Structure 1
């Protein structure tokens, strides 16, 4: 009996000791016991990117909105709100890019010289939406060698390269290039032909804008300008001509579009100067500084003579092609009344969700991610102008965040910067939820104008009396459109704008395309974690041992 009792007591004490030792594991709030005089190691809190749960907790604690770092993309940011809701802001065009340290940073297209680049592409932007590289040029390049007619074969110079969706795509020029003059996102290569400059621009939307500037009537008579040609090269992508729309698609091996060259155009300097609408256009080409200030660099403006360029592609559906633009066929260079200098593009765009303008004057032309060569920023155009009979409608397509699927939308607001109007006279515009757009969208191939959301009258960007300003569309219908996207799990959402009266010159408007954003507040159903079982404290089980 004594032995049995002694064993029961001994085993009970052992179990009690084990229970005590395990208590810190069962009770996380219990402070660790210091051992002797040894200092405990203090581990700092994690400084990694803040995820949604951490942002929600911090917003609740601080009563401020908190960015969800792990949800940031080039076109999107999400915040946790103190109310417990989430807020996501979506943009049609990229707003940020990862820098050399792998951190998200604002897009900075300022061009710099990278020193002696082994590949000859030493002109590069600080932090572009997609990586691009421009030719360093050469101080010793002979004028006589920089000619379409006399360039040796193969005598191609890589003019520009762009990395997009895992592919490198290059433009080549048939001859040597001079060292460029840099101006923000622009690189000007002077006198690539007698009386002809070449301009490259890093685009806000991602990609490369390219333009020939024909400065004088004498320069326009050169045999080399009757048909302008560029080489296109890629080891992993192919180039395919879409002849009906006069554009070139850049496709991966699966046939997916990764970039595009929209319909190329030529135009003169007769257009209205958007910076000084009541002044004569700026046309001096006396120096590179003057060339970079030309009014015509903003693109085809009201009053300009313009023409779509016939396109052909040698090496169609291959990775080595030659893009030819038949300038002579347009008759623009010899047309009575044209004002020099003249401008000849094309542009190469990355395949962002992006935006486009449908233009009635050129009903089968693609103006996908249209270009402004003055600054690299682009203007979407809406309304009518009587100088050339131009009528535009514009569309923006945003990537719609899949996290919003199943959520209850409590607020939605779309806004865009109106940076030019025909005057300060208000006119009404209609805002729609539309069908989807693509690089093939034209006036004759518009998406459906499915749901009218809101009408507003406004005029901004003409003078100091009505300066540039954002216009917001944020009524119940806009919220309902965002809710429809959430209910159906849309991957993108497209909006369109058009003038209510499309025969009224006072409706002519331009909008900074990359400023367009959709901001949505929403409640996400949250699953509560399972309850944590209560800890077992000081429990000792009696044990009987038979001997």
Structure 2
């Protein structure tokens, strides 16, 4: 029987396989992708001001994501940050209410993985929209528990295991870049245990310096599998 560690998501009709022969990022014109769907309350997540459909959402949309802030440990930011997922320490900006150390979570549906061959590789593609600095501050991605509308820093899901670490760029080339994270372990576990989804957590390796602060566009997230 599947476990209930990350039970969200709905089946999509489009096949995921095979992966693009030209590679994960270079061939992004037509990636295989999975998208999350409504949350436990039966409503759907708003991305970039638009209400997301449920199970019949077009390929590539993300339905479940949220961020948490250490400076506001009991505040839920579900539906309150537009299409901006934040990580790291924010201490500058026009809105001081957004300052603090951030983490973000994205849930991807995985039911389509159940009826295919064993996964050799899986990657999360997501656009890093801004970076406070182009210095080498890393972004970590983890396998985590599921998120809810009530998720806060104080009640954030468990961080199960580290998956990958990336540095968005240097020499001024660290803005608006598509990053690719290895999430093979989580995708394989979702397939093996027949989980309908998996939730991935993004956080900064350094939470002391505001230069490590970065933002991402959750609506660009894609789970690409081989």
TM-score, structure 2 normalization: 0.72
Query: Gaps spanning 5+ residues in structure 2: where?
Result: 1-11, 22-30, 55-61
Which of 49, 56, 66 matches 1:203? 49
Q: Distance in 2 between matches of 1:82 and 1:393?
A: 31
Q: Distance in 1 between matches of 2:48 and 2:87?
A: 24
Partner residue of 2:175? 467
Q: Distance in 1 between matches of 2:190 and 2:225?
A: 11
| Structure 2 residue 125 is matched with structure 1 residue 415 | yes
Partner residue of 1:261? none
TM-aligned CA deviation for residue 500 of structure 1: 1.1
| Structure 2 residue 147 is matched with structure 1 residue 437 | yes
Q: Distance in 2 between matches of 1:514 and 1:382?
A: 16
Partner residue of 2:134? 424
Q: Does the aligned pair in 1 maintain the 2:126–2:217 contact within 8 Å? A: yes
- Measured at CA, do residues 458 and 93 of structure 1 come closer, stay the same or move farther in structure 2, by a change above 3 Å? farther
Runs (4+) of structure 1 exceeding 6 A deviation are: none
Partner residue of 1:509? 214
Partner residue of 1:450? 160
Per-residue Cα deviation, 1:169-225 (whole angstroms, up to 9, x for no partner): xxxxxxxxxxxxxxxxxxxxxxxxxxxxxxxx9724539xxxxxxxxxxxxxxxxxx
Q: Name the larger-Rg structure.
A: 1
Aligned pairs for 1:170-181 (under 5 A) are: none
Q: Which has the higher contact order (CA 8 A, sep 6+)?
A: 2
Partner residue of 2:66? 356
Partner residue of 1:398? 108
- Measured at CA, do residues 510 and 205 of structure 1 come closer, stay the same or move farther in structure 2, by a change above 3 Å? farther
Q: Does the aligned pair in 1 maintain the 2:34–2:222 contact within 8 Å? A: yes
Q: Distance in 2 between matches of 1:441 and 1:405?
A: 31
Per-residue Cα deviation, 1:73-130 (whole angstroms, up to 9, x for no partner): xxxx5345699xxx84113479xxxxxxxxxxxxxxxxxxxxxxxxxxxxxxxxxxxx
Which of 67, 71, 92 matches 2:13? 71
Aligned pairs for 1:77-96 (under 5 A) are: 78-80=16-18, 88-92=32-36
Task: Give 1 or 2: higher helix fraction.
Answer: 1
Q: Distance in 2 between matches of 1:472 and 1:415?
A: 5
TM-aligned CA deviation for residue 424 of structure 1: 1.9
Per-residue Cα deviation, 1:280-308 (whole angstroms, up to 9, x for no partner): xxxxxxxxxxxxxxxxxxxxxxxxxxxxx
Partner residue of 2:26? none
Q: Does the aligned pair in 1 maintain the 2:16–2:112 contact within 8 Å? A: no
Q: Does the aligned pair in 1 maintain the 2:19–2:224 contact within 8 Å? A: no
TM-aligned CA deviation for residue 480 of structure 1: 2.1
RMSD of aligned Cα (Å): 3.1
TM-aligned CA deviation for residue 354 of structure 1: 1.3
- Measured at CA, do residues 88 and 439 of structure 1 come closer, stay the same or move farther in structure 2, by a change above 3 Å? same
Q: Distance in 2 between matches of 1:466 and 1:488?
A: 37
Query: Gaps spanning 5+ residues in structure 1: where?
Result: 1-69, 95-163, 166-200, 208-257, 259-351, 373-377, 522-547
Q: Does the aligned pair in 2 maintain the 1:412–1:520 contact within 8 Å? A: yes
TM-aligned CA deviation for residue 467 of structure 1: 3.3
Other structure's SS at 2:225 match = strand
TM-aligned CA deviation for residue 405 of structure 1: 5.0
- Measured at CA, do residues 91 and 459 of structure 1 come closer, stay the same or move farther in structure 2, by a change above 3 Å? farther
Aligned pairs for 1:514-533 (under 5 A) are: 514-521=219-226
Per-residue Cα deviation, 1:220-240 (whole angstroms, up to 9, x for no partner): xxxxxxxxxxxxxxxxxxxxx
